[in-house]
Amino acid sequence: MSSDSSTILCAARPLSPCIQVCNIDPASSLCRGCGRTLDEIACWGSMTEAEKTPVWERLEQTGYVDTLRREER
């Protein structure tokens, strides 16, 4: 079985970035818990993996989620 980094990263991602801290910051319009916008939260269940990918990448880049280290927490 090959293990390229994109496969590992996708496998490490949970179904949702939600951490049950649901509070929208009025200044940024982002959830303080997961970093998503209200639209992203509302549409998450019907989004394709291709639509979720840029959201995951933004959340990883901004530090809301660290999928590679999530297991260590």
Q: Tens of pLDDT along 53-63?
A: 999 999 999 99
The pair of three-digit structure tokens given for residue 7, joined into one six-digit string: 């496969």
- Rounded to 5°, the CA angle 9-64-72 comes to 60
Task: Return d(Cα 56, Cα 49) in angstroms, integer.
Answer: 10
Task: Return d(Cα 47, Cα 28) in angstroms, integer.
Answer: 22
26-45: average pLDDT: 97
Task: Return d(Cα 22, Cα 40) in angstroms, integer.
Answer: 13
Indicate the pTM of the whole model: 0.74
Q: What is the pLDDT of residues 17-26, one digit of tens each?
A: 999 999 999 9
